[in-house]
Structure 1
Amino acid sequence: MNLLSKITTVVMVLLPLLTFSQSNEEKKSKPNIVLIFADDLGWTDVSTGNTNNGNGSKIYETPVIDKLASQGISFTNAYTNQNCAPSRAALISGQYATGIDNQVYNVGSLKRQDKRTKGFPNVPIEPFKQKKVIAEDGINIFDVLKTQGYQTAFVGKSHGTPHPLVGDFGIDLPADIHHIIAAPVNGKRTKSYYLALNSDKEGWTFNSEFVDELATPYDDEYINTILKPYHAQADVSLLKGTPKHLTDAIGDFSVNYIKENANDEKPFFLYVPFHAVHTKVTGRKDLTDKYLKRGLKPRVAEYASMIELLDQNVGKINGALKDPNGDGNYDDDITENTIFIFYSDNGGLRENDPLKGRKGKLTEGGLRVPLIFRYPNVIAENTISNQAVHCIDFLPTFAELVGVDLSKLEKKDGSNPKFEGASFAKVLTGKEKRISRKNLFWHLPGYMDERFSPSTLIQTRIGDEYYKLFYFYETEEFEMYNITKDISEKRNILDNPTATEIEIALQMNADMLAWLKSNKAPTGTWVKNGEKVPYPKANHVHKYLK
């Protein structure tokens, strides 16, 4: 065989291998995505000041989240809905609650009784009957990523989204792997909501087949290899033989998922909606003891413990990206090809100063949350944006980042889905400071105990300032705030507006009405006569101007 023939033979042998290698490289060019969704973690509950205009907690310790903020971009004006189910539904569907594939406005229903009166007395409006989960046949955030070859996983809390324990959703669950933990142990909100129980029939359990294999009590190996590296100034030896915390189990499952899929030819989307720090707040024993020794009241110590436990599990997941096989060698580090996101599902249940209100309300304390994106060499480190973003924006943002044309997607019935969010991908990458959208909306056609009644809220950006206009259907009244200058929502602008503020109010009134009409937003009916509750009239805000 001459030299040319030998070269030709070698090339013919290597060509399929080169083609396969290029194919794998192309598939791996898509970034992995890890989205951590905390539960009830407030805007000021983290110790970094990047996400909250310098209002980081002086009590709660979140060193991992703080470092994450220094490695990526933080959003000081990140929003969700008032509680968990509508936030999760909006995130996964890419639609407001008024969207055809969403229709989830509140946890449970829009007729939540007032605990103060132990009943539902004398309400003038019969609420709209909402859905409990988003539509199965809609195109969700998992479907969008699957079009680009992503394998997807969902482990944690499922409120607002289909899962096997709510109705017959066994056929078309959102993610490829849906290890969803829907209920507390024994169905009771006791301390065992977070701590595994020992069952004679099942052994150690979280009442979930998905993570029960991780429910065994803390032992020396786990303490020494998993927990000690965090140097949390806590006595981890206190944990030996005690029940496993659900937060650790979800973190451990996520780590195992990354280990199993880090080297796969397909990119992955790992969605981790933790139950922490939702009530009934139950910290981990070693961390709770640490904060009690500092003189904190038991209630505060438990909460501080819970927050730091969440932070440690963010660290576990982040560590798995850096060293997927866990051998201490970082040659297999996938951090640079992974978008890592930390977010919360609604405002804090506790104090949220300087924000007004808490979870369940449409004031800033109920809606504004911490948000961090890290994507090395794509997102600049230690940057901060005050661009307002919302749950509905994640789906189009992911689509733009991974190259999905949303206009070409079709639902099972052949119709095109209507996604209502705006991509903020160019804000992430620093190509733009703002997105073109001016308005965000919240609409609640019903009641949630003492925290909200039928109302609509519009937030508008004017230049670099944000305004909020509330409309309350029972009283047909408006309130308006400049939350850039008045973050605590103390001054109702409509009590004494300037000429410019009147113009802004009238435009917001008009935009609110146009949005309600275009979305055919439900309002409920008047109890007195069964008639539909009307939308606010055009220029109706004039009624409140002196």
Structure 2
Amino acid sequence: MKRIFQISIICFLTVVLFNCSSSKLQKKESNHKKPNIVFIFADDLGWVDVSTGNTNKNNGSKIYETPVIDKLASQGMSFTNAYTNQNCAPSRAALISGQYATGIDNQVYNVGSLKRQDKRTKGYPNVLIEPHKQKKVIAEDGINMFDVLKTKGYQTALVGKSHGTPHPLVGDYGIDLPADIHHIIAAPINGKRTKKFYLALNSDKKGWTFNSEFVDKYANPYDDEYINTTLKPYHSQGDVALLKGTPKHLTDAIGDFSVDYIKEKANDENPFFLYVPFHAVHTKVTGRKDLTEKYLKRGLNPRAAEYASMIELLDQNVGKINNALKDPNGDGNFADDITNNTIFIFYSDNGGLRENNPLKGRKGNLTEGGLRVPLIFRYPNVIKENSVTNQAVHCIDFLPTLADLADVDITKLKKKDGSKSKFDGASFAKVLTGEAKRISRNNLFWHLPGYMDERFSPSTLIQTRVGEEYFKLFYFYETEVFEMYNITKDISEKRNVLKNPTSKEMEIALQMNADMLAWLKANNAPTGTWVKNGENVPFPKKDGVKTYKK
């Protein structure tokens, strides 16, 4: 009897402890409405472009200043192995659709097309493979990230760059407020057409404009009130007085729109999903005058100073949005703070255009410099502060992850025709909450059946986790050559393992080769056609890594 009693007590305590610790998320949701979600998506911000070391294995920038992003990292979970696609449109399409480019509702492989001119030849070179013809935007009738959250009553808004979806946003994409803005800001000036990046223009008909009905209300030049109330609190060591009367920067305008949206929705019964894909820090960089002057005085050359200015400007606007969560009505009293019931995400759409050391390559490449980016999640009392994970995640994983965090069963969702969407991503919600160290998936894939100037040619890439190490296996269709790297030990991708593999490395390579082939076949991945005869380019050979060409 005594033995039975002891066992009963142990069982009882086990159940109690499990119920207390297994789901912080369920406990939080029982006391509040579903969490609001603010998703900041930077443009071309590289892995080493932020000054925090949490997201980049202590490779934070010593030049660029991102104090707000640094603090955000200390308040949540940073991912050192966060991945995207090689450039803007495919990353955004994968993020919103939850599918690889091979998915039926995605099919966006590259910006523009897979037949991009090669700068080295000043034209399209004589290539061996006729590229696959891709789509430019995701399918309207697919189930996307906005649709998923709307099933739980979320109010949805997009303000910023709409790459991967139509511009302007038309049709049914599940977005209540699509304040999308093209990257090139253009307006007629005195009857002539002119183009500018980032700075508002003065039109005889429209006044100060970004050519956006949503954001134009924030296009007026900087004045004393804005400088004193909005900009001075950041103490950036820049001379904000230089801004008086100068054109408004688009990055500030997008931040201002986001702040007002939060103020409007903070007390609503239904939660909101605010998706903010900034244009910063994209090419044709134009910083804000005060910040650019700050970095010029530190000795940076003009181009570098503009880039540093743009990064800090992005950081300040992340701060503006974060402050709006703390004090939605702006009265200085934090009684209306909604931070604790808001999931805050900071991410970038691809690797940086500039130097990405120790990573190899840049935007447009399938090397780490083109694909690996900063990622931070904050959700107070659910996600542990100042935590870091090396779990590899990808754009496709955000839809199922946010669905989990909002308690949406995506397996039950159906498209308009009654069919179900097939999502390629894996939820990492349990990694965020600390209930798991890993997700069950071991492989990630990238497939590019065409060309982008000098940065990529027809190729497939698989990344695999083996124990605590990550490996990458490339296959290049023109030459039928494989390359393999252990990116845990060789983050700069200097040693092609296949040149002199150990027996264990060859075993890993053979399995990755098999997994790559199986994935290509299962997804009916397009490969283009041989120019010489019009025949389809074949998939990699089974066990092709055995015949590596040195």
| Other-structure match for 1:76 | 80
Measured on the aligned residues, the alpha-carbon RMSD in Å equals: 1.4
Query: Which residue type is aligned with residue 350 of structure 2?
Result: N
For residues 378 and 171 of structure 2, the distance between their equivalents in structure 1, rounded to whole angstroms, comes to 34
Query: Which residue type is aligned with residue 479 of structure 1?
Result: E
Change (3 A) 1:26 1:435: closer
Equivalent runs, 1:268-307 vs 2, <5 Å: 268-307=272-311
| Other-structure match for 1:330 | 334
Cα deviation, residue 545, structure 1: 7.5
Query: Which residue type is aligned with residue 185 of structure 1?
Result: I
Residue deviations 1:98-135 (CA, integer Å, cap 9, x gap): 00000000000000000121111210000000000000
TM-score normalised to structure 2 length: 0.93
Match of 2:365 among 361, 365, 384: 361
- Partner-residue secondary structure (3-state), 2:196: helix
Aligned 8 A contact 1:336 1:376 in 2: yes
Residue deviations 1:344-374 (CA, integer Å, cap 9, x gap): 0000000000000000000000000000000
TM-score normalised to structure 1 length: 0.93
Equivalent runs, 1:99-498 vs 2, <5 Å: 99-163=103-167, 165=168, 170-186=170-186, 192-498=196-502
Cα deviation, residue 203, structure 1: 0.3
Residue deviations 1:371-419 (CA, integer Å, cap 9, x gap): 0000000000000000000000000001111111111000011001000
Point out the more displaced range, 82-91 or 114-123. 114-123
Cα deviation, residue 138, structure 1: 0.1
For residues 352 and 187 of structure 1, the distance between their equivalents in structure 2, rounded to whole angstroms, comes to 35
| Other-structure match for 1:537 | 541
Runs of 4+ in 1 over 6 A off after TM superposition: 187-191
Cα deviation, residue 29, structure 1: 2.2
Query: Which residue type is aligned with residue 463 of structure 2?
Result: Q
Aligned 8 A contact 1:77 1:387 in 2: yes
| Other-structure match for 1:59 | 63
Residue deviations 1:34-91 (CA, integer Å, cap 9, x gap): 0000000000000000000000000000000000000000000000000000000000
Aligned 8 A contact 2:140 2:171 in 1: no
Gapped regions of structure 1 (runs ≥ 5): 1-24
Cα deviation, residue 190, structure 1: 8.6
- Partner-residue secondary structure (3-state), 1:479: strand
Equivalent runs, 1:37-48 vs 2, <5 Å: 37-48=41-52
- Number of residues paired by the alignment? 518
- Partner-residue secondary structure (3-state), 2:179: strand
Aligned 8 A contact 2:463 2:473 in 1: yes
| Other-structure match for 2:10 | none
Gapped regions of structure 2 (runs ≥ 5): 1-28
Query: Which residue type is aligned with residue 172 of structure 1?
Result: D
For residues 125 and 243 of structure 2, the distance between their equivalents in structure 1, rounded to whole angstroms, comes to 48
Aligned 8 A contact 1:47 1:57 in 2: yes
Query: Which residue type is aligned with residue 362 of structure 1?
Result: L
Percent identity between matched residues is: 82
Aligned 8 A contact 1:497 1:545 in 2: no
For residues 525 and 319 of structure 2, the distance between their equivalents in structure 1, rounded to whole angstroms, comes to 41
Aligned 8 A contact 2:33 2:269 in 1: no
For residues 284 and 105 of structure 1, the distance between their equivalents in structure 2, rounded to whole angstroms, comes to 33
- Partner-residue secondary structure (3-state), 2:186: helix
Residue deviations 1:487-536 (CA, integer Å, cap 9, x gap): 00000000000000000000000000000000000000000000000000
For residues 170 and 354 of structure 2, the distance between their equivalents in structure 1, rounded to whole angstroms, comes to 36
- Partner-residue secondary structure (3-state), 1:155: strand
Residue deviations 1:225-279 (CA, integer Å, cap 9, x gap): 0000000011000000000000000000000000000000000000000000001
Equivalent runs, 1:505-524 vs 2, <5 Å: 505-524=509-528
Aligned 8 A contact 2:69 2:315 in 1: yes
For residues 263 and 517 of structure 2, the distance between their equivalents in structure 1, rounded to whole angstroms, comes to 50
